[in-house]
Amino acid sequence: MTVGEAGHGGSPEGAGPSSPSAGAGTAPPAAGASFHEMWRELLPIGRHAGSGGYRRYAWTGADAECREWFREQAEARGLAYEVDRNGNQWAWLGDPAAGDAVVTGSHLDSVPDGGAFDGPLGVVSSFAALDELRGRGTRFTRPLALVNFGDEEGARFGLACVGSRLTAGRLTAEQAHRLTDGDGVALPRAMEAAGYDPEAIGPDPERLARIGAFVELHVEQGRALDLSGDRVGVASAIWPHGRWRFDFRGEANHAGTTRLVDRRDPMLSYAQTVLAARREAELAGAVATFGKVAVEPNGVNAIPSLVRGWLDSRAADQETLDEVVGGVEKAAREYATAHGVDLDVVRESFTPVVEFDHALRDELARILGKDTGLTVPVLGTGAGHDAGILSGSVPTAMLFVRNPTGVSHSPAEFAAEDDCVAGVRALADVLEGLACR
């Protein structure tokens, strides 16, 4: 059954998902030109002039601009555009109801002062791969969808992958409704302000049932491909990871008049805990980071009443991760007691180990190696992804594109344009191999 032709069609404004695009049109641009043009358009959105980093947080103005960009790209290609109940954006070629769809995409939001590539590379590459396939005259035998998952980084509400978690039933609507940002704005209010209905959010099993495979292309967040000299790799697994909030409560007092022995200073136990996290992670071969801290009252001349620090920890296996976090918490309790400080530790999120679908992973490696005969590198990662969340519900795989700096979640994140275009071609090959058989 041929469900969609990769030809450029018209732009059905507001078309529902049942309006497949097909038909002739102007010749699509080559992968490189199409990638370059989209990248250029997206680049200024949400970029902070001072830091050069991106501040594209969920349901803010920058996020809205990114989402508008996605809609325009979908409509310019005659794809059937829709927003699902959780605010994730979809662009369909072919009839979603036919089922067994091949889906590709990533996210457009960022961490505070994030890089340009984490997320957007996957979304831009999805459109560019479709353009490449249209250039090849590819005919699909399965529906194809491009997706932008909402709030992947969790920079604003503290929980990563909210859009995909809701869809996969890994976060309930009630739990999502209780999320608040640093200014006390609740997620439902933020969604409303952005024009979305927070009462609609929840699991979407029917949508998931229509997906036969999800492939997310992502910039590599490490240097394995740079070291091996490869442009593109395939993911094997994601380390288990989570976020824990440590609240150290002491007593606010005057910084000039309070004797050291009389203080209940939570900053001291917090500082010792940061060092303990480093020690525990080193001992276990894991990672542990306190990357965000809030201090009250946050005055230069006041001993704090509260220091709230967020621990992000990740390890190759669950047992090691439990050991690291348990060790940090034990140390934190000892330091808190020594300083007369109260401590509460709350696990705010957790994602168990993800083993990507072996058959799909091998299929990707086979497709990518078929012309060259070369073996495609297969890499694990400590970074979380929507693909990891969906992997519990649908066969899921990831492609990584070389990042010579290895840096991510920072403006120094980088991928050379040639490598990005190689990523687009690899994704196009994968989509062709999966959706045209």
Q: Does 389 bind ligand GLV (CB under 6 A)?
A: no
Sequence-distant (6+) residues with CB within 8 A of 334 are: none
Indicate the residue among 324 and 383 with the shorter CB distance to ligand GLV: 383
Indicate the residue among 96 and 122 with the shorter CB distance to Mn ion: 122
Q: What DSSP string describes 177-222?
A: HT-B-TTS-BHHHHHHHTT--GGG-S--HHHHHTEEEEEEEEE-SS
Q: Does 163 bind ligand GLV (CB under 6 A)?
A: no
Q: Does 386 bind ligand GLV (CB under 6 A)?
A: no
Using CB under 6 A, pick the residue from 96, 384, 395, 423 that binds ligand GLV: 384
Q: Does 413 bind ligand GLV (CB under 6 A)?
A: no
Given Mn ion, ligand GLV, none, residue 63, with its beta carbon under 5 to 8 Å by kind, binds: none
Beta partners for residue 90, in sequence order: 82, 147
- Using CA atoms, how far apart are residues 100 and 87, in angstroms rounded to an integer? 22
Helix (H) or strand (E) run with residue 235 in it: strand 232-238
Size of the site for ligand GLV (CB under 6 A): 4
Least distance in angstroms from the C-beta of 225 to ligand GLV:
17
Q: Give backbone dihedrals phi and psi of 390, rounded to 5 degrees, phi first.
A: -70, -20
Counted residue by residue, the chain has a size of 437
Least distance in angstroms from the C-beta of 58 to ligand GLV:
13
Q: Does 383 bind ligand GLV (CB under 6 A)?
A: yes
Sequence-distant (6+) residues with CB within 8 A of 203 are: 166, 167, 168, 169
Least distance in angstroms from the C-beta of 26 to ligand GLV:
37
Given Mn ion, ligand GLV, none, residue 160, with its beta carbon under 5 to 8 Å by kind, binds: ligand GLV
- What's the half-sphere exposure (Cβ side, CA atoms, 13 Å) at 109? 28
Indicate the residue among 96 and 384 with the shorter CB distance to ligand GLV: 384
Residue type, 399: L
Least distance in angstroms from the C-beta of 237 to ligand GLV:
14
Q: Does 150 bind ligand GLV (CB under 6 A)?
A: no
Q: Give the torsion through C-alpha atoms of 93, 96, 100, 103, to 10 deg.
A: 50
Tokens 């957007």, located at residue: 120
Q: Does 390 bind ligand GLV (CB under 6 A)?
A: no
Using CB under 6 A, pick the residue from 63, 132, 153, 204 that binds ligand GLV: 153
Indicate the residue among 81 and 149 with the shorter CB distance to ligand GLV: 149
The residues that touch Mn ion, with contacts defined as CB under 5 A, are 118-119
Q: Are 429 and 234 in contact (CB under 8 A)?
A: no
- Using CA atoms, how far apart are residues 42 and 78, in angstroms rounded to an integer? 20
Given Mn ion, ligand GLV, none, residue 384, with its beta carbon under 5 to 8 Å by kind, binds: ligand GLV
Least distance in angstroms from the C-beta of 201 to ligand GLV:
21
- Using CA atoms, how far apart are residues 402 and 412, in angstroms rounded to an integer? 14
Least distance in angstroms from the C-beta of 20 to Mn ion:
29
The site string for ligand GLV over 330-369 (x = CB under 6 A, - otherwise) reads: ----------------------------------------
- Using CA atoms, how far apart are residues 377 and 151, in angstroms rounded to an integer? 29
Q: Does 379 bind ligand GLV (CB under 6 A)?
A: no
Measured at the alpha carbon of residue 193, what is the angle toward residues 189 and 199, in degrees to the nearest 5? Answer: 50
Beta partners for residue 353, in sequence order: none
Beta partners for residue 54, in sequence order: 47, 114
Please report, as ranges, the residues that interact with ligand GLV according to CB under 6 A: 153, 160, 383-384
